[in-house]
Structures are given as C-alpha cells and as structure tokens.
Amino acid sequence: MIDIKLIRTNPELVKDNIRKKFQDEKLKLVDEVAQFDEEYRAAKTKGDELRNKRKVMSKQIGGLMAKGQKDEAEKVKAEVAQIGDELSAMEEKEKDLEAKIRERMLVIPNIIDESVPIGKDDSENVEIEKFGEPVVPDYEIPYHVDIMESFDGIDLDSARRTSGNGFYYLKGDIARLHSAILSYARDFMIDRGFTYFIPPFMIRSDVVTGVMSFAEMEGMMYKIEGEDLYLIGTSEHSMIGRFIDTIIPESELPKTLTSYSPCFRKEVGAHGIEERGVYRIHQFEKQEMIVVCKPEDSMEWFKKLWQNTVDFFRSLDIPVRTLECCSGDLADLKVKSLDVEAWSPRQKKYFEVGSCSNLGDAQARRLGIRIKAEDGTKYFAHTLNNTVVAPPRMLIAYLENNLNADGTVNIPEPLRMYIIHPFRSS
C-alpha cells in the first residue's frame, strides 16, 4: 500500500506507475481515492469542530445550573444533544469514507523501482547473469519422476487416491535427500547470520491482507472453514506477520530471519496440476529468508538475499541464472523482484526455483510495522523475502544435474553429513 500523500501531491506519478504495470483499469482508482480523501478530510475537520463545540457547550451547562439558570441550561443541553446527533452522522461518514479509501488503496500497486524493466508479462523478464556451466550430458536424463521411481522414492498413485492430483508421497532415499537438502539449507543460512524459526502454519485474515495482494490471496490461500485462519502459502506470511503493530528500535535492525515451513497453495490458474510430476503442487516444504530493515538499506539487502540462493545452489553443483522481473510480472506489493532459475539438462533450459522480492514499505504500512529512530521519530520499515530452497522442485534440479550414466546420483560434499547411509537405486 502506497502513502496516500503521493495521491494528494503527485497523482500522475501513481497513474504512470499503473500504466507501467499495464493495469490501466486501475487508473480510475487514483481519482476515486483523491475524491474520497478530500471528502474524508472535510468530514474530519467538521467532526473536530463539532467535538470542540460540544465540549465548550457542555462546560457551560454546569455553570448555568450553578447560577440557577435551569431554563438556559436545558436549552444548551438540547443544543448539545443536537450536536451529538450531527457528530454521530459525521463520524459514520468518516468511517465509510475511510473504508472506501482503504479498499482502493489496497488495490493500487506499489511504486516500482526505476531500475525495473518495463514489460507486459514474464516473457519479457530480463536475464541478468549466469552462474556455472550448463551441461547436457551425452546420455539421456529421464523425467524427474522416473528418476525418483528408479530409487523407489515416490508414490503418486496412492497420493492421488488419498488427496487428488498435486500431492505425493516421498519415501526411502528420495525422502532422505529431501530432508537433507532442507537441513543443509537451514544450516547454510544460520552460518550466514540468520536466526532460525519454525513459524505458525496458519495465520489470520488481517495478516493475509497485510502480506499479499487480493489477487494473490484468491489464487493461493486455503481458508479454514468456520475460522478466521488461512494455511500459509510460504513462511514469509507468518514471519512478516510476526511484526504486526510493532515499533522496532532502529538499533535492533536489520532483522535477518530464516524459516522452515510446509506451504499450501491452491495454484489457481496454474494451467493444470500435473498427474505425474512434482513441479507444481498443492503442498511442499521450503526454507525461506526474511529481512526487516531501514529503507536506505533495503536494496543492499536485496542483492545479498538473491546471492545467498545462487551460492546455495552452486554449492550443490547446480548451474543457475538470475532474471530481473519486468513491471508486468511484479505482484502489486513489490518494488523489485528477481527470480533464480536452475538448469535442467533434460529440458535444456532453466526453470524457476526461487524468487527474491523487495516490497519497500508496502507490507509495513498494511501491518503497522514501524521503526523508532534515536530522536524518537517513527517511520515504516522495509521488508524483503527470498527462497533459500523449495523441495521437491529443488529435487528436480538436483537429480537431473547429479545423475550419472549408470543411474547413480552424486552426493556433493555439503550434503554428506546429512546422508549417513548409502544412497541406492532399486
């Protein structure tokens, strides 16, 4: 959510930003907010005047009664009652206008960074850099499910019977590999100075609307029937929500956190859930990194966060590249975003394994996360998040890039301490 002062002082900047995101249908919202804001401020001014007038006149009543001027006192009482009725109506108008403003402000996209490339959708994202040499071996790389099945490591048929498409059972060595990767990711981030968390896996609606846009919420979140609770789509939701309505001393920043959680996603509009595959699924596990910092530090942290993911994948001998997300591919709360993609030797192309986002103060404004400076002034924090690793999608990249011609899989040195027993094919 942007600062409403931008609409008051520079509505054309806000409209230009909407055009850059190819959301022209939202242009009218800027004018509507400006009009409602003008009416709201007028109503608030009138309400303040009425409150002050009622206070002054209420004091007069006691003086008149003390002087025995009961008739005059009753007249003033009647006026005070009339002011009270008028004030109640004005306060209702204030609430109504405030709700209309917030409803529209939550939909108006955040102001993107000037470095963001302009483009309509993800087809216009811009490759920034490649890390590692993408290799296509001279032997066939099977489909990832076939690799997992060669180790008797996955059961999709049973999951389909218990839960439907988009679910899976991992077992044996593949399940061990999955856990090893998550354990390594946890320790990798701890070694980089991040504090490890396991957060709540359900959050209330006020947190949901604080951390994401309505469009994302509709397409992702599972609602718990009969309760004000949603299953999280990523631990970022819980971790940023942890700071709701808090004031953080400047001296305590930055907050650098890494969190594990299962993630639950409806994947609406995902072009169908695969029957034989674990690339796009309803349930998975992830290690995340989150930063809460001062505004002037957020771009530096943005660079550090995506570099962490690159370094993690390279430590496991997986080639990756980074893509700058164009304006039309940015979710409404994001100022800047970069995807990390891993090399698939089977498909001979890269695919997304992580997304790094700088949300500016958008989440902080929605959730009331403020920083207190040494001089006592308060201002909104900046929040950032990035994926460390998200198996089982990571398993696809790992297995394809570490599969040998004889069907065995290499175990890079960083994982060996987590996989004690031999890794065998069936």
> What is 206-239 written as a DSSP string?
HHHHHHS-HHHHHHHPEE-TTSS-EE-SSHHHHH
Sheet with 283-293: strands ordered across: 126-131, 320-324, 336-344, 349-358, 382-389, 283-293, 255-264, 195-197
Q: Are residue 280 and residue 396 in the same domain, yes or no? A: yes
Is residue 254 reached through a cis peptide bond, with omega within 30 degrees of 0 on the bond before it?
yes
Q: Give the per-residue pLDDT at 268.
A: 55
158-162, 314-318, 422-426: least confident range: 422-426
- Written as one letter, the residue type at 400 is E
- pLDDT at position 65 is 81
Assess whether 80 and 195 both reside in one domain. Answer: no
Residues 91 and 200 in one domain: no
Residues 55 and 171 in one domain: no
Residue 216 has pLDDT above 80, yes or no: no
Tell me how many domains the chain contains.
2
- 246/368 Cα distance (integer angstroms): 7
73, 105, 137 — which closes off a domain? Answer: 105
Residue 289 within a domain? yes
Answer yes or no: do 35 and 60 share one domain.
yes
Report the alpha-carbon distance of residue 222 to residue 260 in Å, rounded: 19
pLDDT at 422 over 80: no
> In terms of domains, do 55 and 138 share one?
no
8 Å CB contact between 293 and 381: yes
H helices within 282-412, ranges in order? 298-315, 362-367, 393-402
Task: List, as one string, the DSSP characters of 108-165.
Answer: SPPPPPTTSPP-SSGGG-EEEEEES-----SS----HHHHHHHTT-EEHHHHHHHT-T
The reply to whether 134 and 222 lie within a common domain is yes
Percent pLDDT > 90 in the chain is: 80
Does position 104 have pLDDT exceeding 80, yes or no? yes
CATH of the domain at 370: 3.30.930.10
User: Please, which pLDDT band fits residue 393 given cuts at 50, 70 and 90?
Assistant: confident
Residues 389 and 115: their CA atoms lie apart, in Å, by: 26
Once rounded to an integer, what is the mean pLDDT over residues 288-301? 98
Clarify whether residues 318 and 241 are in a common domain. yes
Residue-range definition of the domain harbouring residue 65: 4-105
Average pLDDT, the chain: 93
Residue 100's pLDDT is 96
Residues 100 and 131 in one domain: no
Mean pLDDT over 289-305 rounds to 98
Residues 138 and 92 placed together within one structural domain of the fold:
no
Q: Average the pLDDT over 266-293 and give the result.
A: 80
Does 407 fall in a domain?
A: yes
Alpha carbon of residue 175 to chain centroid: 28
378 φ, ψ to 5°? -120, 145
User: Is residue 114 situated within a structural domain?
Assistant: no
SS3 call for 51: helix
Are residues 267 and 379 both part of a single domain?
yes
Q: Is the pLDDT of residue 329 over 70?
A: yes
Domain assignment present for 364: yes
pTM for this prediction: 0.89
Q: What is the mean pLDDT of residues 358-386?
A: 97
Residue 426 placed within a domain: no
